[in-house]
Amino acid sequence: MRQISRVLIAGAGIGGLSSALALAKQGIKVIVCEQASSLGEVGAGLQISPNAMKVLRKLGLESRLRPFVFVPQHATIRDFKTGDYYLKVPLGEHASSRYSAPYWHLHRADLHRVLAQACLEAGVELLLDATVTHYAKNTELNQVNLFLNDGRTLSADLLIGADGIRSKIREQMLGPERPTFMGQVAWRGVIPVSELRTTIQPDACVWAGPGRHFVSYYLRGGDYVNFVAVEERSDWQSESWREEGDVEELKRAFAGWHPEVSDLLASASSTFLWALNGRRELSTWHEDRVVLLGDACHPMLPFMAQGAAMAIEDAYVLAQCLSRYSIGDALIKYEQVRKPRTTKIQQMSKANAGLYHMHGGAFGKMKLKALQTVSRFVPRVIQSKLDAVYGYDATKDISSLP
Protein backbone atom coordinates (compact mmCIF):
# COMPACT_ATOMS: atom_id res chain seq x y z
CA MET A 1 0.00 0.00 0.00
CA ARG A 2 2.81 2.36 -0.91
CA GLN A 3 1.78 5.99 -1.19
CA ILE A 4 5.09 7.54 -2.19
CA SER A 5 6.81 7.97 -5.54
CA ARG A 6 9.40 10.64 -4.72
CA VAL A 7 11.72 10.98 -1.69
CA LEU A 8 14.21 13.66 -0.65
CA ILE A 9 17.22 12.76 1.49
CA ALA A 10 19.33 15.33 3.33
CA GLY A 11 22.88 14.00 3.57
CA ALA A 12 24.96 11.75 1.31
CA GLY A 13 26.83 9.82 3.98
CA ILE A 14 26.70 6.06 4.48
CA GLY A 15 23.17 6.14 5.91
CA GLY A 16 21.78 8.56 3.33
CA LEU A 17 23.16 6.62 0.36
CA SER A 18 22.06 3.26 1.80
CA SER A 19 18.56 4.64 2.19
CA ALA A 20 18.61 6.10 -1.32
CA LEU A 21 19.67 2.77 -2.84
CA ALA A 22 17.12 0.74 -0.88
CA LEU A 23 14.31 3.03 -2.00
CA ALA A 24 15.50 3.32 -5.61
CA LYS A 25 15.44 -0.47 -5.88
CA GLN A 26 11.69 -0.22 -5.17
CA GLY A 27 11.25 2.09 -8.15
CA ILE A 28 10.99 5.27 -6.07
CA LYS A 29 12.51 8.48 -7.40
CA VAL A 30 15.15 9.62 -4.90
CA ILE A 31 17.00 12.94 -4.72
CA VAL A 32 19.90 13.26 -2.27
CA CYS A 33 21.01 16.74 -1.18
CA GLU A 34 24.64 17.01 -0.04
CA GLN A 35 26.19 20.26 1.16
CA ALA A 36 29.74 19.31 0.07
CA SER A 37 30.95 20.41 -3.36
CA SER A 38 32.31 16.95 -4.21
CA LEU A 39 31.11 13.50 -3.28
CA GLY A 40 33.44 11.72 -0.90
CA GLU A 41 33.86 10.56 2.67
CA VAL A 42 36.31 11.71 5.28
CA GLY A 43 37.44 9.26 7.90
CA ALA A 44 39.33 6.03 7.89
CA GLY A 45 38.38 2.44 8.66
CA LEU A 46 35.03 0.83 9.33
CA GLN A 47 34.26 -2.52 10.89
CA ILE A 48 31.35 -3.90 8.89
CA SER A 49 29.88 -6.66 11.02
CA PRO A 50 27.58 -9.45 9.73
CA ASN A 51 24.38 -7.59 10.63
CA ALA A 52 25.36 -4.74 8.30
CA MET A 53 26.71 -7.11 5.65
CA LYS A 54 23.31 -8.80 5.37
CA VAL A 55 21.85 -5.48 4.24
CA LEU A 56 24.73 -4.64 1.90
CA ARG A 57 24.40 -8.10 0.36
CA LYS A 58 20.65 -7.58 -0.14
CA LEU A 59 21.43 -4.27 -1.86
CA GLY A 60 23.72 -6.13 -4.28
CA LEU A 61 27.00 -4.69 -3.01
CA GLU A 62 28.85 -7.69 -1.55
CA SER A 63 30.76 -8.64 -4.70
CA ARG A 64 31.55 -4.99 -5.44
CA LEU A 65 33.04 -4.48 -2.00
CA ARG A 66 35.02 -7.73 -1.80
CA PRO A 67 38.15 -6.41 -3.61
CA PHE A 68 38.60 -3.72 -0.95
CA VAL A 69 38.14 -5.72 2.25
CA PHE A 70 40.29 -7.25 4.93
CA VAL A 71 38.90 -10.21 6.88
CA PRO A 72 39.91 -10.08 10.57
CA GLN A 73 40.53 -13.39 12.31
CA HIS A 74 39.58 -12.38 15.87
CA ALA A 75 38.02 -9.63 17.93
CA THR A 76 40.38 -9.04 20.84
CA ILE A 77 40.88 -6.94 23.96
CA ARG A 78 44.49 -6.75 25.15
CA ASP A 79 46.31 -5.14 28.08
CA PHE A 80 47.96 -1.84 27.20
CA LYS A 81 51.29 -2.82 28.78
CA THR A 82 51.65 -6.58 28.85
CA GLY A 83 49.70 -7.40 25.71
CA ASP A 84 47.83 -10.15 27.60
CA TYR A 85 44.50 -11.12 26.04
CA TYR A 86 41.39 -10.37 28.09
CA LEU A 87 39.20 -11.46 25.18
CA LYS A 88 39.82 -13.32 21.93
CA VAL A 89 36.69 -14.17 19.94
CA PRO A 90 37.02 -15.87 16.54
CA LEU A 91 35.82 -14.00 13.47
CA GLY A 92 36.89 -14.98 9.93
CA GLU A 93 35.22 -18.20 8.80
CA HIS A 94 33.64 -18.62 12.23
CA ALA A 95 31.69 -15.36 11.86
CA SER A 96 30.61 -16.19 8.30
CA SER A 97 29.37 -19.62 9.39
CA ARG A 98 27.67 -18.52 12.59
CA TYR A 99 25.96 -15.40 11.24
CA SER A 100 25.56 -16.31 7.54
CA ALA A 101 27.49 -13.19 6.56
CA PRO A 102 31.13 -12.09 6.86
CA TYR A 103 32.82 -9.66 9.21
CA TRP A 104 34.82 -7.24 7.07
CA HIS A 105 37.09 -4.25 7.52
CA LEU A 106 36.60 -1.53 4.90
CA HIS A 107 37.96 1.92 4.30
CA ARG A 108 35.05 4.32 4.65
CA ALA A 109 35.91 5.93 1.31
CA ASP A 110 35.68 2.56 -0.49
CA LEU A 111 32.25 1.79 0.94
CA HIS A 112 31.06 5.31 0.16
CA ARG A 113 32.31 5.18 -3.42
CA VAL A 114 30.65 1.81 -4.11
CA LEU A 115 27.39 3.01 -2.57
CA ALA A 116 27.44 6.24 -4.60
CA GLN A 117 28.06 4.41 -7.87
CA ALA A 118 25.27 1.93 -7.16
CA CYS A 119 22.92 4.83 -6.39
CA LEU A 120 23.71 6.55 -9.68
CA GLU A 121 23.16 3.31 -11.60
CA ALA A 122 19.79 2.92 -9.86
CA GLY A 123 18.70 6.38 -11.00
CA VAL A 124 19.27 8.30 -7.76
CA GLU A 125 19.86 12.02 -8.34
CA LEU A 126 22.76 13.40 -6.27
CA LEU A 127 22.78 17.18 -5.77
CA LEU A 128 26.08 18.68 -4.59
CA ASP A 129 26.55 22.15 -3.10
CA ALA A 130 23.00 21.65 -1.87
CA THR A 131 22.93 22.94 1.70
CA VAL A 132 19.59 22.42 3.43
CA THR A 133 18.16 25.40 5.35
CA HIS A 134 14.70 24.17 6.39
CA TYR A 135 11.60 22.30 5.33
CA ALA A 136 7.87 23.03 5.34
CA LYS A 137 4.60 21.17 4.89
CA ASN A 138 2.97 21.46 1.51
CA THR A 139 -0.61 20.79 2.57
CA GLU A 140 -2.06 21.68 -0.83
CA LEU A 141 -0.17 18.83 -2.54
CA ASN A 142 0.12 16.64 0.55
CA GLN A 143 3.91 16.78 0.29
CA VAL A 144 6.93 18.31 2.01
CA ASN A 145 9.06 21.15 0.63
CA LEU A 146 12.81 21.32 1.21
CA PHE A 147 14.58 24.67 0.92
CA LEU A 148 18.23 25.04 -0.08
CA ASN A 149 20.54 27.96 0.63
CA ASP A 150 20.85 28.81 -3.09
CA GLY A 151 17.13 29.55 -3.29
CA ARG A 152 15.99 26.25 -4.75
CA THR A 153 12.90 24.51 -3.39
CA LEU A 154 12.36 20.78 -3.83
CA SER A 155 9.15 18.85 -3.17
CA ALA A 156 8.51 15.19 -2.41
CA ASP A 157 6.23 12.77 -0.62
CA LEU A 158 8.80 12.19 2.14
CA LEU A 159 11.94 13.85 3.53
CA ILE A 160 14.61 11.73 5.26
CA GLY A 161 17.05 13.54 7.53
CA ALA A 162 20.32 11.60 7.25
CA ASP A 163 22.44 14.69 7.89
CA GLY A 164 24.39 13.56 10.93
CA ILE A 165 24.67 14.52 14.56
CA ARG A 166 24.27 18.23 13.74
CA SER A 167 21.20 17.55 11.63
CA LYS A 168 19.29 20.60 10.40
CA ILE A 169 16.25 18.39 9.96
CA ARG A 170 16.38 17.18 13.57
CA GLU A 171 16.87 20.73 14.82
CA GLN A 172 13.75 22.00 13.07
CA MET A 173 11.73 18.97 14.14
CA LEU A 174 12.71 18.96 17.83
CA GLY A 175 14.31 22.34 18.50
CA PRO A 176 17.91 23.56 18.80
CA GLU A 177 20.15 21.53 21.07
CA ARG A 178 23.91 21.24 20.93
CA PRO A 179 25.40 17.74 20.92
CA THR A 180 26.76 16.62 24.27
CA PHE A 181 30.53 16.27 24.47
CA MET A 182 31.12 12.82 25.95
CA GLY A 183 34.44 13.70 27.61
CA GLN A 184 36.52 11.85 25.04
CA VAL A 185 38.44 12.62 21.87
CA ALA A 186 39.63 10.24 19.17
CA TRP A 187 42.73 10.42 17.00
CA ARG A 188 42.32 8.49 13.75
CA GLY A 189 44.68 7.62 10.95
CA VAL A 190 45.78 5.14 8.29
CA ILE A 191 49.35 3.94 7.81
CA PRO A 192 50.70 2.00 4.80
CA VAL A 193 52.03 -1.39 5.94
CA SER A 194 55.20 -0.69 3.98
CA GLU A 195 56.00 2.09 6.47
CA LEU A 196 55.39 0.07 9.65
CA ARG A 197 58.16 -0.78 12.07
CA THR A 198 56.23 -3.65 13.62
CA THR A 199 53.88 -6.51 12.74
CA ILE A 200 50.20 -6.01 13.57
CA GLN A 201 48.07 -9.03 14.36
CA PRO A 202 45.32 -9.73 11.77
CA ASP A 203 42.59 -8.94 14.29
CA ALA A 204 40.18 -6.23 15.31
CA CYS A 205 42.19 -5.32 18.40
CA VAL A 206 41.29 -3.06 21.33
CA TRP A 207 44.17 -2.17 23.66
CA ALA A 208 42.66 -1.27 27.05
CA GLY A 209 44.38 1.16 29.40
CA PRO A 210 43.70 3.70 32.17
CA GLY A 211 41.64 6.58 30.80
CA ARG A 212 42.25 5.66 27.18
CA HIS A 213 42.26 2.87 24.64
CA PHE A 214 43.73 2.11 21.24
CA VAL A 215 42.20 0.23 18.29
CA SER A 216 44.13 -1.24 15.37
CA TYR A 217 43.16 -3.30 12.34
CA TYR A 218 44.07 -3.85 8.69
CA LEU A 219 42.36 -2.34 5.65
CA ARG A 220 42.40 -2.87 1.88
CA GLY A 221 43.55 -6.46 1.81
CA GLY A 222 46.22 -5.82 4.44
CA ASP A 223 48.00 -2.98 2.64
CA TYR A 224 47.13 -0.45 5.34
CA VAL A 225 46.59 -0.35 9.09
CA ASN A 226 43.83 1.79 10.56
CA PHE A 227 44.16 3.14 14.10
CA VAL A 228 41.80 4.89 16.49
CA ALA A 229 43.25 6.26 19.72
CA VAL A 230 40.72 7.48 22.29
CA GLU A 231 41.61 9.62 25.30
CA GLU A 232 39.39 11.00 28.05
CA ARG A 233 39.43 14.80 28.24
CA SER A 234 37.42 17.45 30.01
CA ASP A 235 39.00 20.48 28.32
CA TRP A 236 37.83 20.18 24.71
CA GLN A 237 37.03 23.67 23.42
CA SER A 238 37.10 23.33 19.64
CA GLU A 239 33.83 23.80 17.76
CA SER A 240 35.10 21.66 14.89
CA TRP A 241 33.94 18.04 14.79
CA ARG A 242 37.13 17.11 12.96
CA GLU A 243 40.52 18.80 12.80
CA GLU A 244 44.11 17.92 12.09
CA GLY A 245 45.76 16.46 15.17
CA ASP A 246 49.27 16.76 16.57
CA VAL A 247 51.01 13.42 15.97
CA GLU A 248 53.63 14.13 18.62
CA GLU A 249 50.92 14.84 21.19
CA LEU A 250 49.29 11.53 20.23
CA LYS A 251 52.56 9.65 20.70
CA ARG A 252 53.09 11.24 24.12
CA ALA A 253 49.55 10.31 25.19
CA PHE A 254 50.29 6.62 24.51
CA ALA A 255 53.94 6.57 25.56
CA GLY A 256 54.90 3.46 27.52
CA TRP A 257 52.24 1.28 25.90
CA HIS A 258 52.95 -2.15 24.44
CA PRO A 259 55.57 -2.07 21.63
CA GLU A 260 52.94 -3.07 19.05
CA VAL A 261 51.15 0.20 19.82
CA SER A 262 54.17 2.47 20.26
CA ASP A 263 55.94 1.09 17.18
CA LEU A 264 52.80 1.54 15.10
CA LEU A 265 52.45 5.15 16.23
CA ALA A 266 56.12 5.75 15.50
CA SER A 267 55.20 5.25 11.82
CA ALA A 268 52.29 7.72 11.91
CA SER A 269 52.97 10.98 10.07
CA SER A 270 49.50 12.52 10.30
CA THR A 271 46.26 12.16 12.21
CA PHE A 272 42.86 13.76 12.55
CA LEU A 273 41.20 14.51 15.86
CA TRP A 274 37.48 14.12 16.61
CA ALA A 275 35.43 15.09 19.63
CA LEU A 276 33.12 12.20 20.56
CA ASN A 277 29.63 13.62 20.94
CA GLY A 278 26.22 12.19 21.72
CA ARG A 279 22.60 13.13 22.31
CA ARG A 280 19.93 12.15 24.76
CA GLU A 281 17.27 9.77 23.47
CA LEU A 282 14.91 11.66 21.17
CA SER A 283 11.20 11.84 21.97
CA THR A 284 10.36 10.97 18.37
CA TRP A 285 12.10 10.25 15.09
CA HIS A 286 9.41 11.55 12.76
CA GLU A 287 6.92 14.33 12.15
CA ASP A 288 4.29 14.21 9.42
CA ARG A 289 6.26 13.46 6.23
CA VAL A 290 9.72 13.91 7.73
CA VAL A 291 11.82 11.19 9.38
CA LEU A 292 15.33 10.88 10.84
CA LEU A 293 17.94 8.19 10.25
CA GLY A 294 21.40 7.24 11.56
CA ASP A 295 23.41 9.77 13.57
CA ALA A 296 20.65 12.34 13.11
CA CYS A 297 18.55 10.41 15.64
CA HIS A 298 20.87 8.00 17.51
CA PRO A 299 24.56 9.02 17.51
CA MET A 300 26.69 6.62 19.54
CA LEU A 301 30.16 6.22 20.87
CA PRO A 302 32.26 4.02 18.55
CA PHE A 303 33.02 1.37 21.20
CA MET A 304 30.86 -1.31 19.61
CA ALA A 305 31.92 -0.38 16.04
CA GLN A 306 28.22 -0.16 15.15
CA GLY A 307 27.60 3.45 14.10
CA ALA A 308 27.63 2.82 10.35
CA ALA A 309 25.95 -0.57 10.81
CA MET A 310 22.99 0.99 12.62
CA ALA A 311 22.50 3.57 9.85
CA ILE A 312 22.65 0.82 7.22
CA GLU A 313 20.06 -1.21 9.15
CA ASP A 314 17.87 1.89 9.56
CA ALA A 315 17.92 2.44 5.81
CA TYR A 316 16.70 -1.01 4.93
CA VAL A 317 14.02 -1.22 7.63
CA LEU A 318 12.66 2.21 6.66
CA ALA A 319 12.45 1.13 3.02
CA GLN A 320 10.64 -2.07 4.08
CA CYS A 321 8.11 -0.12 6.13
CA LEU A 322 7.44 2.33 3.32
CA SER A 323 6.80 -0.53 0.90
CA ARG A 324 4.28 -2.12 3.27
CA TYR A 325 2.32 0.69 4.94
CA SER A 326 0.92 4.15 4.38
CA ILE A 327 3.42 6.90 5.22
CA GLY A 328 2.06 7.62 8.69
CA ASP A 329 1.94 3.97 9.71
CA ALA A 330 5.31 3.27 8.06
CA LEU A 331 7.13 5.90 10.11
CA ILE A 332 5.52 4.68 13.32
CA LYS A 333 6.51 1.08 12.54
CA TYR A 334 10.06 2.12 11.60
CA GLU A 335 10.59 3.83 14.94
CA GLN A 336 9.00 0.95 16.85
CA VAL A 337 11.37 -1.53 15.21
CA ARG A 338 14.56 0.52 15.27
CA LYS A 339 14.49 2.61 18.44
CA PRO A 340 14.82 -0.24 20.99
CA ARG A 341 17.73 -1.80 19.09
CA THR A 342 19.69 1.41 18.53
CA THR A 343 19.12 2.50 22.14
CA LYS A 344 20.49 -0.84 23.35
CA ILE A 345 23.57 -0.54 21.14
CA GLN A 346 24.12 3.01 22.41
CA GLN A 347 24.06 1.71 25.99
CA MET A 348 26.45 -1.13 25.20
CA SER A 349 28.85 1.29 23.52
CA LYS A 350 28.82 3.62 26.51
CA ALA A 351 29.43 0.71 28.91
CA ASN A 352 32.43 -0.41 26.87
CA ALA A 353 34.08 2.98 27.45
CA GLY A 354 34.31 2.18 31.16
CA LEU A 355 35.65 -1.31 30.44
CA TYR A 356 38.26 -0.23 27.92
CA HIS A 357 39.44 2.64 30.13
CA MET A 358 39.68 0.59 33.33
CA HIS A 359 37.32 2.87 35.23
CA GLY A 360 37.52 2.28 38.95
CA GLY A 361 41.27 1.69 39.11
CA ALA A 362 41.97 -1.76 40.53
CA PHE A 363 38.27 -2.62 40.28
CA GLY A 364 38.34 -1.75 36.59
CA LYS A 365 41.27 -4.10 36.09
CA MET A 366 39.34 -6.78 37.98
CA LYS A 367 36.42 -6.46 35.54
CA LEU A 368 38.77 -7.12 32.66
CA LYS A 369 40.21 -10.12 34.51
CA ALA A 370 36.69 -11.40 35.06
CA LEU A 371 36.01 -11.00 31.35
CA GLN A 372 39.17 -12.99 30.67
CA THR A 373 37.98 -15.81 32.93
CA VAL A 374 34.49 -15.89 31.42
CA SER A 375 35.81 -15.88 27.85
CA ARG A 376 38.08 -18.84 28.63
CA PHE A 377 35.77 -21.01 30.67
CA VAL A 378 32.23 -19.93 29.74
CA PRO A 379 32.65 -18.60 26.17
CA ARG A 380 28.94 -19.04 25.41
CA VAL A 381 28.22 -16.04 27.68
CA ILE A 382 30.37 -13.78 25.52
CA GLN A 383 29.05 -15.35 22.34
CA SER A 384 25.43 -14.74 23.32
CA LYS A 385 26.09 -11.01 23.69
CA LEU A 386 27.71 -10.87 20.28
CA ASP A 387 24.90 -12.94 18.78
CA ALA A 388 22.38 -10.27 19.77
CA VAL A 389 24.34 -7.71 17.74
CA TYR A 390 25.79 -9.66 14.82
CA GLY A 391 22.98 -12.19 14.43
CA TYR A 392 20.34 -9.54 13.76
CA ASP A 393 18.96 -9.58 10.22
CA ALA A 394 17.26 -6.34 9.11
CA THR A 395 16.41 -7.91 5.74
CA LYS A 396 13.85 -10.23 7.31
CA ASP A 397 10.18 -9.43 7.00
CA ILE A 398 9.57 -6.49 9.32
CA SER A 399 6.75 -8.36 11.06
CA SER A 400 9.34 -10.81 12.40
CA LEU A 401 11.83 -8.19 13.61
CA PRO A 402 11.96 -7.44 17.34
62-101 pLDDT tens trace:
999 999 999 999 999 999 999 999 999 999 999 999 999 9
CB burial of residue 37 (10 Å; 0-12, 13-18, 19+): exposed
pLDDT tens for each residue of 150-196: 999 999 999 999 999 999 999 999 999 888 888 999 999 999 999 99
Nearest CA to 26 out of 43, 49, 2, 44 is that of 2
Query: In 71-114, at which residue ranges do the beta strands (DSSP E only) sit?
Result: 74-79, 85-90, 104-107
Output the average pLDDT for the chain: 93
Angle of CA points 94, 100, 101, to nearest 5°: 85
Q: Write the CA distances from 94 to 53, 224, 275, integer angstroms.
A: 15, 24, 35
Domain residue ranges of the chain, discontinuous segments joined by +: 6-69+108-178+279-353+379-394
Tell me, what's the pLDDT at 240? Answer: 55
6-69+108-178+279-353+379-394: CATH, from 3.90.230.10, 3.40.50.720, 3.40.190.80, 3.50.50.60: 3.50.50.60
Q: Give the separation between CA 70 and CA 92, rounded to whole angstroms.
A: 10
Long-range CB contacts for residues 174-180, cutoff 8 Å, separation at least 24: 174/282, 174/283, 174/284, 177/279, 179/277, 179/278, 179/279, 179/299, 180/277, 180/278, 180/279, 180/280
Nearest CA to 308 out of 187, 97, 162 is that of 162
Report pTM: 0.95
Tell me, what's the pLDDT at 1? Answer: 45
160 close to 19: Cβ distance less than 8 angstroms? yes
pLDDT tens for each residue of 203-262: 999 999 999 999 999 999 999 999 999 999 887 656 555 678 899 999 999 999 999 999
Per-residue pLDDT for 31 more than 80?
Answer: yes
Per-residue pLDDT for 57 more than 90?
Answer: yes
Q: Beta-carbon neighbour count of residue 374 at 10 Å?
A: 15
- Active-site annotation, residues: 217
